[in-house]
Amino acid sequence: MERRHINPESAPDSTEHGYSHAIVAEGTFYISGQVGMDGDRNLAGEDITAQTRQAFANVEAILSDVDRDMRDVVKVKAHIVDPHERFADYNAVYQSVFSEPYPCHTVLGVEQLAGPEYLVEIEVDIPVED
């Protein structure tokens, strides 16, 4: 099986942690969860608004490597620490990124993400061809 690994230069180096940011294999797009960290491993901010903006910017950079953009997203899955307190701020950014017809959208509440500083982690699904 042929696999295309996507690791944009604008994203943090993922190989040192043993993963790819995204893979396209047999017409399916797989993406690792994106957090609010820039390519230099700087946290975008301590609030969910800044982190959500950066996570979506990371997604957008990955999508551009497969000639897609946010309009091609068919599903968004967001993992949010304490979503009852943070959903409104997350959703304000989500609403600024997407417009009708909106993609499918799942929000999951989590106790913690990979690092205690992360408040949101985002995955998307898009249709692709090899």
Indicate the number of domains in the chain.
1
Dump pLDDT digits (tens) for 81-111.
999 999 999 999 999 999 999 999 999 999 9
Dump pLDDT digits (tens) for 26-73.
888 999 999 999 988 999 999 999 999 999 999 999 999 999 999 999
Residue 56: domain span = 3-125
Provide the CATH number for the domain around residue 106: 3.30.1330.40
Residue 25, domain member (yes or no): yes
Q: What residues contact residue 26 under an 8 Å CB cut-off, 6+ apart? A: 1, 2, 130
DSSP string, 20-77: -SEEEETTEEEE--B-SB-TTS-B--SSHHHHHHHHHHHHHHHHHTTT--GGG--EEE
Residue 90, domain member (yes or no): yes
Residue 130, domain member (yes or no): no
How far is residue 90's CA from residue 53's CA, in Å, rounded to a whole number?
A: 9
